[in-house]
Amino acid sequence: MRIFGALFLVVLLAAAAALYLHGRDAVATLGGVAKVAESLREEHGVKRAFDRRAATRAVADLEALVTDPEALASHVAELKAIGSTAASWTRSVPSPSSELAAAVAIRGAAAELRAYALSSDGTRLNVARDRLADARRALAGAAADGDSLAAVRQGLANIERSQQEPLLELDEDLAR
């Protein structure tokens, strides 16, 4: 009986050691992810301090435009301004943060509405609605400040947006 007890104790200690080492590995991995998330920033452009009140106003303005998609073509300049402001917020807010989540979502919604103004593609409106819901949740504090993986996704989405915006500009110029 003592042998089985000793064996059980050795197995238990080995399992505890393995869990401890895996935990340390996970913490190191999350630290690496946090560094990657912080490095996913646009290098160029203006940095502007995040303004929660202006972000809330931008979301409300975009939601009003979503409800009247026929008017979007006459609001492209406003959509560009909102997208540009949100882009400047993404350069100054910490990563990860609810402010980053809100800024990326607002920028995405503005770009989707600009694209809808060109093509009247209903999926663009749906994506814009989803981004606005994301922005509302982030502004309400629902975005996890410590979620490094979400910050990486947001950083990649933001970089993707920055790459798509010149193409959208070109499409708008060609449509005139």
pLDDT (tens digit per residue) in 120-163: 888 999 999 999 999 999 999 875 555 777 777 888 888 888 88
Out of 3-7, 54-58, 73-77, 106-110, least confident range: 3-7
Taking residues 111-122, report their average pLDDT.
92
| Cα–Cα distance measured from residue 60 to residue 57, given in angstroms and rounded to the nearest whole number | 5
Report the candidate in 146, 57, 50 with the shortest Cα–Cα distance to residue 100: 50
pLDDT in tens, 68-105: 999 999 999 999 999 999 999 998 888 888 899 999 99
Q: Over the stretch 21-63, which tens digit does the pLDDT of each residue have?
A: 566 655 545 455 445 545 456 666 788 999 999 999 999 999 9
Q: What is the pLDDT of residue 55?
A: 97
- Per-residue confidence (pLDDT) for residue 44, from 0 to 100: 67
- What's the confidence (pLDDT) of residue 138? 93
Kindly state the DSSP code that residue 168 receives in the 8-state scheme. H
Per cent of the chain over pLDDT 90 is 44
- Domain membership of residue 24 (yes or no) is no
Residue 10 lies in a domain: no
Q: Which residues of 117-147 are buried (b: 16+ CB within 10 A; e: fewer)?
A: bbeeeeebbebbbebbebbbebbeeebeeeb
Q: Is residue 26 part of a domain?
A: no
Helix (H), strand (E) at residue 72: none
Does 16 map to a domain?
no
170 three-class SS = helix
Whether the pLDDT of residue 11 is over 70: the answer is no
Domain that holds residue 83: 40-175
Q: What angle do CA 48, 54, 39 make, to 5 degrees?
A: 35
Give the model's pLDDT for residue 120: 87
Residue 2 located in a structural domain: no
Peptide bond into 96 cis (omega under 30): yes
**Is residue 22 in a domain?**
no
* Biggest alpha carbon–alpha carbon distance for the chain: 88
Q: Which residues contact 108 (CB under 8 A, 6 or more apart)?
A: 127, 128, 131, 157, 161
Residue 7 lies in a domain: no
Residue 23 within any structural domain of the chain: no
Q: How many structural domains are present in the chain?
A: 1
